[in-house]
Amino acid sequence: MRRVVITGAGTVNALALDVPGTLAAMAEGRSGIGPLTFPEVERLSIGIGAQVRGFDPDMHFDPQKRALYDPFTQYALVAAREAMAMAGLGQVARPEGWGCIMGTAGGGNHTINDAYRAVYAEGRNRVHPFTVPRLMPNAAAAHIAMQFGLQGPSFAVSTACASSNHAIGLAYQMVRGGVAEGMLTGGSEAMLNFGGLKAWEGLRVMSPDGCRPFSQTRNGMVQGEGAGVFVIETLESAEARGAEPLAEIRGFAMSSDAGDIVMPSVDGASRAIRAALDDAGLSPDEIGYINAHGTGTAANDRTECLAIRQVFGAAAERVMLSSTKAMHGHCIGATGAVELLACLMALRDGLIAPTINFEASDPDCDLDVVPNVARAAQVEAVLTNAFAFGGMNAVLALSRV
């Protein structure tokens, strides 16, 4: 099977509007979480989130195109451009050999929110003519494919909080198996609006005051938004182009709890972790860092730590684990893509992003969670976990090239 590498990365999130800014924030342990600002936020019981700031669509898109782009598509396109530029690709050599797979949970959620507000709250009888092409969950993938002329397999993946990892994993399998020569892949999410958050509020899993993964004082998740997009291709093609591989994707695995629609299971998570290691041909001893799903809910963090202990055994005592969600928030369908950046930083820069807001250790989460301060450490291979509502789990394994 062919070796698959990442040659470009791009992002927009609450920490920064590009990869260098995001990595700098992760290295500093800075948080992008703050008071939410959007219409009717005062009617929410949850007033904080990791909102993208300073993003000016007019800087990136001409007005006619922009009318077709929900914010989740805008974030994805800007991230894709950064990734393509980093990969040194203007256009791809053989368009039919390239495609785009993007994860998203909510699709064009702002467009849905705005259209519902117009017809239900304001009693208007007309919505914008592009409402459907803006809200459809495959819009981001479609516009990326259009922008770069990718004529091969393109589609959207929707597995809630695991969407990005599923998307990247499928793109990886396509390139590895020879179905595609290269792919743009990642995830995008933008549902920080009144309707989007009102729905989340109902589930009562959000924290009113902060995201504190693995800390004994944690009391829920904090929503974020943004996008992460990666250029992946065969090692051979990267070398032929003289492109520098940022990391190698070594393995991918998925599992389903087939249990509860919202409560995570140790067994489902541990099966995905173990299978990703098997697929990569790596042992727990070789993994230096795990980017945790680490949502900061009571249930996820306890379950995730148990699952890691179950698979890693003695190696769990020395593996570093961190959740970067305390910085960029839980970007839902984009979260795995944004978190993959922390994996690249670990592998390339030898710097482990911290779990910030860590206040007190919890006996249920007694792993090395790299509390509060980034740590210099040479790591050869990493895992990144995503465990979604629906009990759908997706774990990627990466290493230095």
| Contacting residues toward another protein, per CB under 8 A | 45, 202-208, 218-220, 260-263, 297-299
Catalytic site residue 161?
A: yes
Q: Report the distance separating Cα 231 and Cα 180, nearest Å.
A: 12
SS3 10: strand
Buried b (16+ CB within 10 A) or exposed e, 254-265: bbebeeeeeebb
Alpha-carbon span 238 to 257, nearest angstrom: 37
State in angstroms the smallest separation of the CB of 207 from another protein: 7
Q: Which C-beta is closer to another protein: that of 27 or that of 306?
A: 306
For another protein, the closer CB: 221 or 395: 221
Q: Please identify, using beta-carbon distances, which residue of 166 and 218 lies nearer to another protein.
A: 218
Beta partners for residue 174, in sequence order: none
Out of 143, 293, 328, 331, the active site residue is: 293
Give the strand pairing for 226-234 and 154-157: unpaired
Residue among 110, 143, 166, 330 flagged as catalytic? 330
Q: How far is the CB of 298 from another protein (least distance, A)?
A: 4
What's the CA gap between 264 and 391, in Å, rounded? 6
Active-site residue, 330 included:
yes
* In contact, 106 and 333? CB cutoff 8 Å: yes
List 100, 161, 211, 365, catalytic entry: 161
Cβ distance to another protein smaller for residue 176 or 325: 325
CA dihedral 373, 378, 380, 382 (to 10 degrees): 0
> What backbone phi and psi angles, to 5 degrees, belong to 204?
60, 40
Residue 102: CB atoms within 10 A of its CB come to 39
46 versus 275: smaller Cβ distance to another protein: 46
Residue in the structure block whose two tokens are 């009391």: 219
Least Å from the CB of residue 158 to another protein: 21
331 is catalytic: no
Q: Closest separation between CB of residue 166 and another protein, Å?
A: 24
Q: How far is the CB of 384 from another protein (least distance, A)?
A: 24
Are the CB atoms for 228 and 341 separated by under 8 Å? yes
Task: Give the residue numbers annotated as catalytic, written as ranges.
Answer: 161, 293, 330
